Structures are given as C-alpha cells and as structure tokens.
C-alpha cells in the first residue's frame, strides 16, 4: 500500500488561457487533435506528445475518445490532422 501511496501525485491538467470559460469542449478537442498531429509528425513514442494525451484524457469524456479513436482509425475523423 505504501508503495502505491508514493506513486500517486495530486496533479491535474493546468488552467489553459485559451479556454477561460465554462465551456471546455474546445479544450478537449484541441488537445486531442494536437496529440494526433504530434504523433503523425513525430511518432507515438515521442515524449512531448504524451503531454497532449494526458490533457485530453483528463478533459475529454471517455465515450468521446473511444468514438474519435475509431474515426481516426477509419479515416473519418472530422479534424484536420
């Protein structure tokens, strides 16, 4: 248990000046698109891309991400990657 305790850090997605309002939909979308662009340009192992992934995983509802992942796979995703 104590090992688990050490691993858990209370840290979440920081405040993003681009999205200061109650509506955070664009925040989630932008980070998802940025991640897809990042891995397309640099590959999935590129460490900096993981930042976007972490943020969109925190901000986006899981059922949205599942849908978008499918669309990316099928080439029907609406965003420009």
Partner 1 sequence: MKDFIKNVYCSLIRDANEPWQLGFQDAGSPVMEEIIMLHDQILFILTIIVGVVLWLIIRILLGNNYYSYYWNKLDGSLIEVIWTLIPAFILILIAFPSLRLLYIMDECGFSANITIKVTGHQWYWSYSYEDYGEKNIEFDSYMIPTADLELGDLRLLEVDNRLILPVDTNVRVLITAADVLHSWTVPSLAVKMDAVPGRINETGFLIKRPGIFYGQCSEICGANHSFMPIVVESVSLSKYIDWIGREDL
If one asks whether residue 47 binds partner 1 (CB under 8 A), the answer comes out as no
Which residues, including other chains, have CB under 8 Å from residue 19's CB and lie 6 or more apart?
26, 27, 30
In whole angstroms, how close is the CB of 61 to partner 1 at the nearest point? 5
How far, in Å, CA of 41 to CA of 49, rounded?
Answer: 10
- Between 7 and 41, name the residue whose CB sits nearer to partner 1: 7
Which residues, including other chains, have CB under 8 Å from residue 6's CB and lie 6 or more apart?
none
Dig out the tokens for 63 from the structure: 């059922």
Among 18, 23, 43, 45, binds partner 1 (CB under 8 A): 23
If one asks whether residue 72 binds partner 1 (CB under 8 A), the answer comes out as no
Binding region for partner 1 (CB under 8 A): 1, 4-5, 7-13, 15, 22-25, 27-28, 57-63
């Amino acid at each position: 248990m104590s090992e688990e305790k050490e691993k858990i850090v209370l840290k979440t997605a920081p405040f993003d000046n681009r999205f200061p309002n109650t509506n955070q939909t664009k925040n989630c979308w932008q980070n998802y698109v940025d991640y897809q662009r990042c891995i397309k340009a640099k590959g999935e192992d590129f460490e900096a891309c993981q930042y976007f992934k972490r943020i969109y995983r925190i901000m986006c509802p899981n059922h949205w991400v599942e849908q978008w992942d499918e669309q990316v796979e099928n080439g029907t995703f609406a965003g420009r990657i």
